Amino acid sequence: MPTYSAPLRDMRFVLKDVFKIDELWASLPGLEGAVDMETADAILEEAGKISAEVIAPLNREADEEGSHWHDGQVTAPAGFKQAYETFSEGGWVGLGGNPEFGGMGMPKTLVAQVDEMVQSASISFGLAPMLSAGACLSINVHGSNELKEAFLPNMYAGTWAGAMDLTEPHACTDLGIIRTKAEPLGDGSFAITGTKIFITWGEHDMAENIIHLVLAKLPDAPAGPKGISLFLVPKLAVNEDGSLGENNGVSCGSIEKKMGIKASATCVMNFDEARGWLVCAENQGLACMFTMMNYERLGVGVQGLGAAETSYQNARDYARERLQSRSANGAVAPDKAADPIIVHADVRRMLMTMRAYNEGGRAFSTYVASWLDITKFSTDRETIQKAEAMVALLTPIAKAFMSDKALEATVLGQQVFGGHGFVREWGQEQLVRDVRITQIYEGTNGIQAMDLMGRKVVQNKGAMVDVLVAEINDFIQANADSEGAQIYLKPLSAAIELLQETTQVVVSQAAEDADAVGAAAMDYLHLSGYVVYAYMWAKMALCSQGLMAEDEDFHGAKIGTAQFFFQRLLPQTEALAKNIASGSDATMALKAEQF
């Protein structure tokens, strides 16, 4: 039976020591006085308890049971409804929500840590509050005061849940060709008709009502993405006094039978002249939805990190206990039949790789969240513009690189268990299955790579990359004289130079070859991911060097893991750069009929 313990020590290190996050919070007008490290510590402690003690124990059996569909109704696995009520009563759904409507107003840098703990405990469960929080964000940013007052308090409280309904059977990623229609009813509301697929927790019994954010097209809408509008559509009608009425023409046609996240309901949702309201201006639905999706894409990366952390913890514990063969340097446990497998170099390789990706990912997700906090709470226009550019550049890396490395980490965790990793009761195969979806939804990782390469890099000839590079170079220069710094700063500087050179290679290729962006995209995203992780690891290693006297075990392990990352993982950037430089010819060489 897998277990989970919240990595609070590491989260505090990242927040307090590496990013000095309390200084950022104090500098942002919208956060000043609202949160400090003492408050954050209390929140982290409680989130760790509810994740480890309430949610995590449900995960294994919930996967076996799955969600149940019957006659349009969905019932969550045993224990989920009670856990969701407990979670909601603690105010966790509204942790980052607008205090004017019942949210707690906490920064994303803190919320990201809580999100990781919940996702570590159970991705299937964690998807429900994650989607509710994202729906609330879109309503809060784009909705009218009337919509906010009518829906946000109950959504923040967890009494009502949220879901986002984007794609359709024929559309998938190409949302411009959706067919769901919205007909004006003459009173400011609209009749929404259509079918949506892959709607996570689109129907369930954990909340009294479910508020759907639905993409649809008005009768006179322009063709393509520019003709999409966003509508708020409750499952049950909401009366003027706030009480719930009859079903609002919203039904669940079926739920999918999936590879993983089996405990969550992935629904086919039907809207039959369901009454809805515009969330933002007509034909601006996709832009409004992206407010939610940028947060959700970071959230998906954090989901992957959460599963990988649970995999690491269990693989580490297993490696300490499992006896098999003797150490290459002689018996470590001569009184036993064999040594624990953690003595073997190959097992160490797997655990160190997992640890390097997980701890690097935790720092990176916090870094991206800090830019989101700046965009939300700063009042300085120039600062906000830089933060928005950084969020645009880093979000596809956060979603795709973090989830790719999470799958790699969970597979390694399964491998540490050997044959037992293939057996369901140990939980490692579930983590592999569950984390696999993070590479697919919220825009597949290939789509994320194309977005990064095409829109965020080639389109502006690398200008956004230059902003990131300038920040990292400032860090390198500021720490150049620190004792022992060059073992991190020298390879980081080389990686930055390689990223700049490769960026210009693709920009030049794209000017002459329409397939250059697509051929380079995934390799470029991974190259970028390794570079930003190197930046995170250099920051953490230098921080730990200065704090060794406080906790030699913790900071010594941090420094050792940093060295592993720079020596064994970062060199992969050189192969990625060579792949990119080769162009698209080999990728596009075969005719379609030759496949």
The catalytic residues are 442
CA atoms within 13 A on the CB side of 127: 28
CA atoms within 13 A on the CB side of 340: 10
- CA 302-308-314 angle, to 5 degrees, is 140
* Residue 176 · residue 228 · CB < 8 Å: yes
The CA distance from 46 to 117, in Å, is: 11
* Residue 263 · residue 125 · CB < 8 Å: yes
Query: In 10 A of CB 195, how many CB atoms?
Result: 17
Q: Which single residue is written with the structure tokens 């920009």?
A: 507
Sign of the alpha-carbon dihedral angle for 170, 174, 176, 181: positive
Question: 85 phi and psi, to 5 degrees?
Answer: -65, -45
* Residue 15 · residue 40 · CB < 8 Å: yes
State the maximum Cα–Cα separation within the chain, in Å, rounded to a whole number.
83
DSSP code of residue 252: E
Query: In 10 A of CB 382, how many CB atoms?
Result: 8
CA–chain centroid gap for 168, Å, is: 23
CA distances from 579 to 309, 523, 568 (A): 30, 7, 19
The CA distance from 424 to 60, in Å, is: 9
Contacts from 542-551 at CB under 8 Å and sequence distance 24+?
Answer: 542/479, 542/482, 542/485, 542/488, 543/13, 543/17, 543/18, 545/482, 545/483, 545/484, 545/485, 547/17
Q: Is 170 exposed, middle or buried (0-12, 13-18, 19+ CB in 10 A)?
A: exposed
The CA distance from 217 to 171, in Å, is: 14
- Count Cβ neighbours within 10 Å for each residue of 460-490 and write b for 16 or more, e otherwise: eebebbeebbeebeebbeebeeeeebeebbe
